[in-house]
Amino acid sequence: MKSWGTALSKIRPGEFKFKVLVDTIIHEIETGKLVDGQRLPPQRKVADESEHWYSNDH
């Protein structure tokens, strides 16, 4: 799951952050890095690893 932050920190202009995150999660499931019953990291942890793309602004 460490690659989630890395994937999100390399987003190109015009890419949707949620789409990159979903694609990364799908890849980790398909490659066995994310297994059934495994807990996902908190949103804040993923954000911290991805150069703070998360915002509380609404």
Q: Give the C-alpha separation, 30 to 16, whole Å.
A: 21
User: Cα dist. 55→21, 24, 32, 44, 48 in Å?
Assistant: 15, 20, 30, 10, 11
Give a yes or no: residue 55 inside a domain.
Answer: no
pTM of the predicted protein model: 0.66
Number of domains in the chain: 1
- What is the average pLDDT across 1-15? 74
Burial environment of residue 1 by CB neighbours within 10 A (0 to 12, 13 to 18, 19 or more): middle
List the Cα angle 57/7/28 in 5-degree steps: 115
pLDDT tens-digit map of 21-41: 889 889 999 999 999 999 888
Give a yes or no: residue 56 inside a domain.
Answer: no
Q: Average model confidence (pLDDT) for the chain? A: 78
| Residue-level pLDDT at 35 | 92
Query: Which residue range forms the structural domain that includes residue 38?
Result: 2-49
